[in-house]
């Protein structure tokens, strides 16, 4: 048994079932191992940003890692933007990065680079495999390392992969989440008992059903407001769940949303800072006199902390209020809001939304509070090009659930290759592309730095007109059936059809 | 004048004319500066791999740097694969990377990353701007730093860009190339005078007209063979130029090509090593008893070294032999060779070829020795996704020359977004996509690691069928007119038309 085979068998034994891959020559032994040993499903992505983004979507939904197979420094670099997002989402992922054989590395062949230097940029768990005998053990430790929401980056020199002497390693028990500090739970309870305006600022596992349930008990008992971070990795939403207000993206609005709170209990999220800095504007968004209690961070058991706090407050289980009505679908001119209203009305129970709609989705976000139950995945790290691959990975993790990708056009271009994999794997994803022919968020940002009337040169860097992208053609070129909507009625027809059939489908919304 | 404006004016004063850009919020001040100050042509790429690859193509042809505008760590990471290629091509590029404002950086906002850590992976010239007053000076030094064939990575905190107090800096004199060592020139002359089998192993500037002319004098006088590295950054070829044999890609064939040489004079290239290591095969490709003389490295004046060597050998100027005939265009089944024969017959004088045809181009490479004069740019660093962007950048640098991109399908997917920029800028590029629905090189590599009959799981990672990509649709979706050829005659018709008209055009060759 060679090293590659021992590693692969160990990953399979440890419950890793899927490998999103874009291998090269240095990973051929792993390709051969996947071919030989049953139990690992390889899924090809035609660009590494697709591979890593898919692993992120998979991990968010499966709560366990997929593996990726990446080719040396440049292959890893291509996947880094979505690994950045995955890091911010605390997604478990095992990246297997092939490197040159140990004798070959010092020769500085054309593809040589500092793979270790690359890998340390996205994770604090990085290991360069030191021998064929220990490769599988590295793999077993890598799985365990991911279970607290991080990436394991395992660098495999090609000669260790091809050499005989691999030893399958036993799965390791993953480390348990740390418990929240009792004193801090007490401090949170005292803050909430004060009667002063308070909020629960929620991220991470606090936004899953159990966390939301405990948070809702607390909110109902104390009057605290439930607010989520701007871009949660995964929030469970819909009409039979507690409604959570989303912190606004723009700092000014976020400051306004938080201005009255005297206490903020942060769970699974850090106290919020603005995405970017602006001259003369604050970067921290909470009021100066607000008492911040960090109840639990991502590495801690956030749900247990919320439940302990609810119990300490003697907060009973309470029924949810009657859900607000679904938004009305206004006919007439199509806007991103009318599109959002259609989607909120039509998504099936238990669907998954991968949201990278950016400016086009911001005003319809609230509509989904009254939609059928769903999981909402958002752009955690701000590195665009996440929406399509995350939808892909979520669909692999949850083959019985409908996935809807709300997708801005500029961001979609970054990892458009994901469409091909969706077609190849016949994944049940409906992509809604908001084609506004613009990096709309940047037009806004340009105004915010004081350019009110941009000239041709500035506009040429922010507008996606000349030529306009034709997403139906791009999609069909990669094998995904596509339709175009120019009115709300057309969109409704196309979206309804997509909800009633299985398989990948793209709808281009011309805004 | 703010920092961004002072930097921009300094770059313009220093001769930087083009900025390939994919800016974000942290670069808005630079966008505003480009808008306000005339002299910099901004060119938008819809993915950073396009931006950096275009800067590579531009730099190879213009012999001076373009600037890029990149957004924080993830934006830089997206461009790293093509910066890796550019580094291996010794291309001058100035990367301007925006970072968070200095006060904002410690707050760990979602897009925060170790930008410096990223930037040091592709260049040894990296600078984090330390104040608004020194930003322009950093820019002036960056230009000079690039002139010996390297990248300058300049990281600009947003607050320095937006603050007033910028001071335009004067252009600096670029450092001269170092002279080659006289003793080494003597050693090379002695080797060549030995009468033993010798080769000139050429890369870098040795493959430009002046270098080739001097090398040809040496070859004619001594019988030494002219051999180029496998993937030169830029080689000037065609029927009125000396013919240079290309070292084969596969190690076994390269060893065979070099086996008889007792002396190798390396100029602008290091002695060749194999791309990858294989069990039991040598990584260094020259014979053990071969005397290696490194006449000049990339940082040295390679042309002067060759001319000095030719003079020392008293090698006269000699006429070139009559060029070999152009390849005949065989009708009948279309293959990558019949396609290559058509192209070699039809390219206009002074054209530029950006070659990322990989396995599809390898057997027709020699055809172009008898073609009209052209510059040939190849995949220097092995990080795929270079061909389209390099063609883009070359076309920007040389608007009066026809650019032809020979492009493998799998590699084209990596940076397909380049098509849109070609359409937007109406660049005179003809893209020939070899659609073999496969990572063909990897099928070969899988055999080379001993898997002769790959099963479904292995094939699923190497084949691009199911679905087949339809490049004509992808191309038209991004605004580039496209045609499809299934026979050599169809290809000839389409290619002839493309050579006779200006503007971007894609031809999909179904193999």
Residue B49: its chain A contacts at CB < 8 A?
78
- Is residue A450 over pLDDT 80? no
pLDDT (mean) for B217-229: 98
B458 reaches A (C-beta below 8 A): yes
Residue that is last in its domain, among B98, B130, B162: B162
Q: What's the full length of chain A, in residues?
A: 511
B37 reaches A (C-beta below 8 A): no
- Is residue B323 over pLDDT 90? no
pLDDT of residue A440: 84
B246 reaches A (C-beta below 8 A): no
pLDDT (mean) for B135-148: 96
- Is residue B310 over pLDDT 90? yes
Same domain, A198 and A157: no
CATH code at B345? Answer: 3.40.50.970
**CB contact residues (below 8 A), chain A span 139-198, against chain B:** 158-159, 162
- Is residue A379 over pLDDT 90? yes
DSSP H helices, A235-386, are 251-258, 302-312, 336-346
Distance from CA of A328 to the nearest CA of B (A): 33
Distance from CA of A87 to the nearest CA of B (A): 10
Q: What tens digit of pLDDT does each residue of A106-132 get?
A: 999 999 999 999 999 999 999 999 999
Q: What tens digit of pLDDT does each residue of B377-397 get?
A: 999 999 999 999 999 999 999
Same domain, A358 and A483: yes
A75 reaches B (C-beta below 8 A): yes
| B171: in domain | no
pLDDT of residue A441: 85
- Is residue A437 over pLDDT 90? no
B10 reaches A (C-beta below 8 A): no
| B241: in domain | yes
Same domain, A230 and A157: no
Q: How many CB atoms lie within 10 A of CB B170?
A: 10
Number of A–B residue contacts, CB under 8 Å: 300
* A117, closest residue in chain B (CA to CA): B121
* B273, closest residue in chain A (CA to CA): A109
pLDDT (mean) for A54-58: 98
B503 reaches A (C-beta below 8 A): no
Distance from CA of B489 to the nearest CA of A (A): 24
Structural domains counted in chain B: 3
| B103: in domain | yes
**CB contact residues (below 8 A), chain A span 47-66, against chain B:** 47, 49
Same domain, B30 and B140: yes
| A177: in domain | no
Nearest by CB to residue A477, choosing from B114, B457, B474, is: B474
pLDDT (mean) for B347-355: 98
Among B49, B474, B475, the residue to mutate for chain A (most A Cβ within 10 A): B474
Residue A276: its chain B contacts at CB < 8 A?
25-26, 100-101, 104, 109, 111, 158
CATH code at A281? Answer: 3.40.50.1220
Measured CA to CA, the distance from residue B445 to residue A30 in angstroms comes to 12
Same domain, A363 and A456: yes
Contact A286, A271 (CB under 8 A): yes
User: In whole angstroms, how far apart are CA B213 and each of A138, B53, B95, B323?
Assistant: 55, 29, 34, 16
Same domain, A344 and A487: yes
B453 reaches A (C-beta below 8 A): no
User: In whole angstroms, how far apart are CA B279 and each of A111, A162, A503, B283, B444?
Assistant: 18, 8, 43, 10, 15
Distance from CA of A14 to the nearest CA of B (A): 20
Nearest by CB to residue A31, choosing from B73, B458, B471, is: B458
Confidence of residue B439 (pLDDT cuts 50, 70, 90): confident
Same domain, A128 and A211: no
Confidence of residue B69 (pLDDT cuts 50, 70, 90): very high
pLDDT of residue A64: 96
| B32: in domain | yes
Encoding tokens for residue B452? 């002769």
| B331: in domain | no
Residue A469: its chain B contacts at CB < 8 A?
420, 477-479
Residue B469: its chain A contacts at CB < 8 A?
420, 477-479
pLDDT of residue A451: 78
Confidence of residue B335 (pLDDT cuts 50, 70, 90): very high
Same domain, A33 and A77: yes
Measured N-to-C along each axis, helices B440-448 and A28-36 cross at an angle, to the nearest 10 degrees, of 80
pLDDT of residue A31: 95
Query: Cβ contact (<8 Å) for B469 and A477?
Result: yes
Q: What tens digit of pLDDT does each residue of A468-479 get?
A: 999 999 999 999
Same domain, A215 and A251: yes
* A465, closest residue in chain B (CA to CA): B424
Measured CA to CA, the distance from residue B194 to residue A373 in angstroms comes to 83
Same domain, B151 and B107: yes
Measured CA to CA, the distance from residue A202 to residue A183 in angstroms comes to 20
Nearest by CB to residue B107, choosing from A273, A385, A424, is: A273
* B36, closest residue in chain A (CA to CA): A455
* B84, closest residue in chain A (CA to CA): A74
Measured CA to CA, the distance from residue B438 to residue A307 in angstroms comes to 53
Contact A242, A218 (CB under 8 A): no
Same domain, A294 and A226: yes
B335 reaches A (C-beta below 8 A): no
pLDDT of residue B175: 85
Phi-psi region of A119 (alpha: psi -120 to 50; beta: other; left: phi over 0): alpha
Query: pTM surpassing 0.95?
Result: yes
Distance from CA of B330 to the nearest CA of A (A): 30
Query: Cβ contact (<8 Å) for B117 and A114?
Result: no
Confidence of residue A237 (pLDDT cuts 50, 70, 90): very high
**DSSP assignment, residue B364?**
G
pLDDT of residue B332: 80
Q: Smallest Cα–Cα separation from A45: which of B408, B454, B414, B472? A: B414
Tokens 């531009």, residue? B58
Confidence of residue A290 (pLDDT cuts 50, 70, 90): very high
| B325: in domain | no
A470 reaches B (C-beta below 8 A): yes
A420 reaches B (C-beta below 8 A): yes
pLDDT above 90 coverage of chain B, percent: 90
B340 reaches A (C-beta below 8 A): no
Measured CA to CA, the distance from residue B502 to residue B479 in angstroms comes to 15
- Average pLDDT of every residue of chain B: 96
pLDDT above 70 coverage of chain A, percent: 100
Burial of A197: CB neighbours in 10 Å, binned 0-12, 13-18, 19+: middle
B108 reaches A (C-beta below 8 A): yes
A116 reaches B (C-beta below 8 A): no
Q: Residue B113 is part of which domain span?
A: 3-162
* B381, closest residue in chain A (CA to CA): A110
Query: Cβ contact (<8 Å) for A159 and B277?
Result: yes
pLDDT (mean) for B60-67: 98
Confidence of residue B443 (pLDDT cuts 50, 70, 90): confident
* A45, closest residue in chain B (CA to CA): B461
Same domain, B412 and B501: yes
Nearest by CB to residue B42, choosing from A81, A449, A461, is: A461
| B188: in domain | yes
Query: Cβ contact (<8 Å) for B274 and A24?
Result: no
């Amino acid at each position: 048994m060679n090293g590659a085979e021992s590693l692969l068998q160990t990953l399979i034994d440890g419950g890793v079932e899927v490998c999103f891959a874009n291998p090269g020559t240095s990973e051929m032994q792993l390709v051969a191992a996947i071919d030989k040993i049953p139990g690992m499903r390889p899924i090809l992505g035609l660009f590494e940003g697709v591979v890593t983004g898919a692993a992120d979507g998979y991990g968010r939904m499966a709560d366990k890692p997929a593996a990726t197979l990446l080719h040396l420094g440049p292959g890893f670099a291509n996947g880094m933007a979505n690994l950045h997002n995955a890091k911010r989402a605390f997604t478990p992922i095992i990246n297997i990065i092939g490197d040159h054989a140990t004798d070959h590395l010092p020769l500085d062949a054309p593809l040589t680079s500092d793979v270790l230097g690359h890998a340390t940029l996205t994770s604090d768990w990085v290991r360069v495999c030191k021998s064929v005998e220990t490769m599988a053990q590295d793999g077993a430790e890598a799985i365990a390392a991911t279970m607290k929401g991080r990436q394991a980056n395992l660098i495999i020199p090609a000669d260790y992969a091809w050499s005989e002497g691999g030893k399958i390693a036993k799965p390791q028990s993953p480390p348990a989440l740390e418990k929240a500090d009792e004193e801090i739970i007490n401090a949170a309870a005292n803050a909430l008992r004060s009667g002063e305006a308070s909020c629960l600022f929620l991220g991470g596992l606090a936004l899953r059903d159990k966390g939301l349930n405990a948070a809702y008990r607390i909110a109902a008992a104390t009057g605290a407001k439930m607010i989520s971070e701007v871009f949660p990795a995964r929030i469970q939403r819909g009409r039979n769940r507690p409604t959570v207000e989303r912190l606004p993206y723009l700092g000014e609005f976020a400051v306004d949303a938080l201005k009255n709170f005297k206490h903020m209990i942060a769970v699974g999220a850090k106290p919020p800072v603005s995405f970017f800095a602006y001259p003369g504007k604050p970067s921290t968004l909470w009021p100066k006199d607000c008492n911040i209690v960090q109840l639990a961070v991502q590495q801690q058991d956030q749900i247990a902390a919320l439940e302990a706090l609810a119990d300490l407050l003697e907060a009973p289980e309470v029924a949810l209020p009657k859900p607000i009505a679904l938004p009305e679908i206004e006919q007439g001119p199509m806007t991103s809001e009318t599109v959002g209203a259609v989607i909120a009305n039509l998504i099936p129970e238990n669907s998954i939304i991968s949201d990278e709609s950016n400016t086009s989705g911001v005003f319809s976000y609230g509509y989904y509070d009254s939609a059928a139950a769903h999981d909402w995945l958002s752009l955690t790290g701000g590195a665009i090009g996440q929406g399509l691959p995350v939808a892909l990975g979520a669909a692999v993790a949850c083959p019985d659930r409908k996935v809807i990708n709300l997708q801005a056009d500029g961001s979609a271009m970054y990892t458009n290759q994901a469409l091909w994999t969706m077609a190849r794997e016949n994944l049940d994803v409906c992509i809604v592309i908001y084609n506004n022919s613009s990096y709309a968020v940047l037009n806004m940002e340009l105004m915010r730095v004081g350019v009110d009337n941009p000239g041709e040169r500035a506009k040429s860097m922010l507008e996606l007109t000349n030529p306009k992208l034709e997403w139906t053609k791009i999609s069909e070129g990669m094998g995904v059936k596509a339709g175009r909507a120019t009115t709300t009625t057309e969109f409704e027809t196309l979206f309804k059809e997509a909800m009633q059939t299985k398989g990948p489908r793209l709808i281009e919304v011309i805004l």
